[in-house]
Amino acid sequence: MTKFNTFLSRGFAASAVLALSALPALAQAATPPVPNKGDTAWLLISTALVLMMSIPGLALFYGGLVRSKNMLSILTQVLAIVCMVSLLWVFFGYSMAFTNGGGLNDFVGGFDKAFLAKVDANAVVATFSNGVVVPELAYMAFQMTFACITPALIIGAFAERAKFSAVMVFMALWVTFIYFPMAHMVWYWGGPDAIGDAAKAVAAATDEAAKKVAQAKLDEVKADAGMLFKWGALDFAGGTVVHINAGIAGLVGCLMMGKRVGYGKELMAPHSLTMTMIGAALLWVGWFGFNAGSNLEANGTTALAFVNTFVATAAAGFAWLIVEWVAKGKPSLLGLVSGVVAGLVAVTPASGFAGPMGSIILGLVAGVVCFIFVTSVKNALGYDDSLDVFGVHCVGGIIGAIATGILVNPALGGAGIPDYESKPGELAVAAYEFGPAVMAQVKAVLFTLVFSGVGSAILFKLVDLVIGLRVPQEQEREGLDVASHGERAYNS
């Protein structure tokens, strides 16, 4: 998450002024920045767009892919998860993700802001630009929509057979023990001003003792961040936190729950690809809020993320269409839609870091690789990931996360890795080194796979022992709509 376009647009005059004297900087620090109305409006609109991705976007996208007897179970699970996680988020989720966690701060936050304590209409939080803040309530609500959609993504992996009560209990545990810590580890940090001010103090220190104190303070500010953030892992809008995290949890879930009755023998064709198309289109539109909104401000980097979200998606949809046409003989709508979603997933971590041409390459690769996973690898391995949560979200997320470490390179049209320290108060671009940049991404991917994979397995096992994960076979045959919810999607 970052933007350095502001740096370019401000030009060299501002940095020259800053270099001349520390006095103007001190004067600036005296008047705390206030939120800009345009930034605030954009962040709130983005928040609503991301909510639209879950309901109705994801619900319809998934719902259309199941058999008509299970349509309402999907819609119900998605909406119920959104309602439940919204409450958990304001009760303790936001605090666990975005406060200092004391001794556990590398992994998770604390409870200082539980029940939104101290988060009132006057509270502000940092963005990615020095001297730019947004209302904390807007930031909290924006992040809330991410917490809502991530668990909702998981349900696709074990659609058409999961017990509703088990899904709800699992999701409450999962966001608490997996999602909130992941969000903290990747996205929690002090912000540009905290680093900038501490770095300025180091520069301003006159004697050795003062310099030592100031340096210690700077180290402390930099240390107050999540573990993956400190590794240097880049994740603009949630490749690790959202997609790899949900994708691997889905894979573990479908393995532990077992295949659907009749899988591989009976017709399990999607009951309405029309709904799936509507849902995917809503996802794409909403994803502009997800990715471009993740810049928190409305500026050039926001537009970059917007354009990347547009073109990577188009490339991935087109890539899947063509590959399927060649390999299977016909270009299908479901293939096109699947490619679109794979592209959206892949560009998520890269959206504010890559350039548009890099994003197109990323989209093409994601479309082809996800196609191979979903059509061949899944069948070869024989697991029943009903709606391809692993093959699209986890695989697409991994491709995107690793590609982010490559495409961020300014030489490839990328935005570069942000550096708030070398020119305190300004956003500079750090020198790009391929090895460390890519290794930080690989480490973050591996950590997420293990943390979420193992953690989810423990939680699934726990829920299985206490409640049982699956409905009885006769209920699965009858369909979850009638068996679990006592209603039917279509009465004609």
Partner 1 sequence: MKLITAIIKPFKLEEVRDALTSLGVHGMTVTEVKGYGRQKGHTEIYRGAEYAVSFLPKIKLEVATNTDLVDKVIEAITAAARTGQIGDGKIFVSPVERSLRIRTGERDAEAL
- Encoded tokens for 237: 């809008």
d(CA 148, CA 478): 29
Q: Are 187 and 278 in contact (CB under 8 A)?
A: no
Nearest approach, Cβ of 328 to partner 1 (angstroms)?
6
Question: Of 7, 22, 418, whose CA–CA distance to 214 is shortest?
Answer: 22
Contact map string, positions 232 to 271, toward partner 1, x by CB under 8 A: -----------------------------------xxxx-
Q: Is 32 left (phi over 0), alpha (psi -120 to 50) or beta?
A: beta
Mask for 314-333, x = binds partner 1 (CB under 8 A): --------------x-x-x-
Q: How far is the CB of 377 from partner 1 (least distance, A)?
A: 9
Binding mask 265-284 for partner 1 (x = CB under 8 A): --xxxx--------------
Q: Which residue type does 329 have?
A: G
Smallest gap, in angstroms, from Cβ of residue 372 to partner 1? 10
Q: Are 6 and 104 contacting, i.e. CB atoms less than 8 angstroms apart?
A: no
Q: From the centroid of its chain, how far is CA 16?
A: 37
Q: Look at the alpha carbons of 179, 81, 66, 50 in this order and tell me if their dihedral is positive or negative.
A: negative
Smallest gap from residue 61 Cβ to partner 1 (A): 13
* Contact with partner 1 (CB under 8 A) among 379, 468, 473, 490: 379
**Could you say which DSSP state residue 432 is in?**
P
CB of 275 to partner 1, least distance (A): 14
In the complex, what is the shortest distance from the CB of residue 339 to partner 1, in angstroms, rounded to a whole number? 11
Q: Which two tokens stand for residue 148?
A: 């809502």
Q: Is 422 exposed, middle or buried (0-12, 13-18, 19+ CB in 10 A)?
A: exposed
Nearby residues of 263 by Cβ (< 8 Å), 6 or more positions away: 384
337 or 469: CB nearest partner 1: 337
> What mask, x for binding partner 1 by CB under 8 A, covers residues 337 to 376?
-x-----------------------------------xxx
User: Residue 79 CB, nearest distance to partner 1 (Å)?
Assistant: 25
Residue ranges in 432-491 that form contacts with partner 1 under rule CB under 8 A:
none
Q: With contact defined as beta carbons under 8 Å apart, do 221 and 178 qualify?
A: no
| Sign of the alpha-carbon dihedral angle for 102, 104, 109, 114 | negative
Cβ closer to partner 1: 268 or 428?
Answer: 268
| CA neighbor of 240 nearest in space, from 432, 433, 453, 394 | 394
Residue among 222 and 271 whose Cβ is closer to partner 1 = 271
Q: Does 34 bind partner 1 (CB under 8 A)?
A: no
CB of 371 to partner 1, least distance (A): 9
Question: Site size for partner 1, by CB under 8 A?
Answer: 16
Q: For binding to partner 1 (CB under 8 A), which residues are involved?
A: 267-270, 328, 330, 332, 334-335, 338, 374-376, 378-379, 388
